[in-house]
Amino acid sequence: MNTTTIAAKPTGAAPRAHLFGVSAAMVTPFTETGAVDCERAAGHAVRVIEEGADGITLFGTTGEGSSLGLRDREELLSAVLDAGIAPSRITAGIAASDLEMAETQARMVFQRGVRRLLLAPPFYFKGITAEALHDWVADFVARVSDAQPQIILYHIPQVTAVGFAPETVRRIKQTCGDAIFGVKDSGGDWSLTSKLLPMEDLAILIGDERSLARAAPLGGAGAISGMANLVPRRVGAMVRQGQADPALDAFVEEVVTVPVTPMVKALVGAMRSDPAWTRTRLPLSQADVAAVNRLADVLAVLRQQEIEITGGAR
């Protein structure tokens, strides 16, 4: 078997006001009829935490959150809570362009004890001003402030076409105070990431695993990570020790050449020997079988290396 070397933690690492750790951006399984498969979801949530994740994020991009209705969300959240996942370990994605629906999605998780939200910007209208984005977030915070939320602003402009510029993040934080916990930066633009990392009053979370090791010693607080569905301990090593992981970087480079969410789901299925994980909800299509088989072989090596490198410890 080929082995890989993970570099030592760089010296002079910057202190972090927050250490968020690794939250698996959990994929959502579906039954043959298209319903959320709560049994599989609950089992996967438990396993990723047993295998090294600090928590899970539901209803995000990797979880097909924009394709999940309120009933789907309620059933999925209930399933993972009933499986013993503490509300403090759960982050809930909010995806809505109207404030009423954004509040409704948030209230549902608040009722079950979850306080941490991953808030996508309003994404239907494009070219909105920074002022309008600030005001939209401030209005949302005002609506839910009684629940004492911890809100992570979700910067993923390649999907939403609306991004959180560092200057806008700073103004939102000044306006909304402790309600704004951090930023998830999934933009893949290091020039923007490098402006967010010095914000010591925010948890700066990295969505692109290829930047994790670089961000950690500069103040990066952790990750909401699709790869944590597959190799959570390896992702954790990059967050906690700033350890470079060239083999994982190369794997991510391959995954991002295809539609990512269907591929991550299919790789969970390959890892668990359960083809039901290949099911997606429209408008997404299932991953290409040949690509899945090729990447599943690479994943098997990565998971074996993960055990060897970390000794199975978190």
Show the tokens assigned to 89. Answer: 């370990």
Q: Is the peptide bond before 198 cis (omega within 30 degrees of 0)?
A: no
Q: Please check if 172 is assigned to a binding site.
A: no
Q: What are the residue numbers of the active site?
A: 154, 184
Residues in the chain: 314
Residue type for 228, please? A
User: Among 68, 46, 54, 61, which residue's Cα sits nearest to residue 22?
Assistant: 54
Q: Which residues are CB-neighbours of 98 under 8 A, at least 6 positions away? A: 122
CA distances from 290 to 156, 293, 299 (A): 28, 5, 14
Q: Tell me the C-alpha distance between 148 and 116, whole Å.
A: 9
CB contact at 8 A, 99 and 132: no
Q: Is 62 annotated as a binding residue?
A: yes
Residues comprising the binding site for pyruvate?
Answer: 62, 224
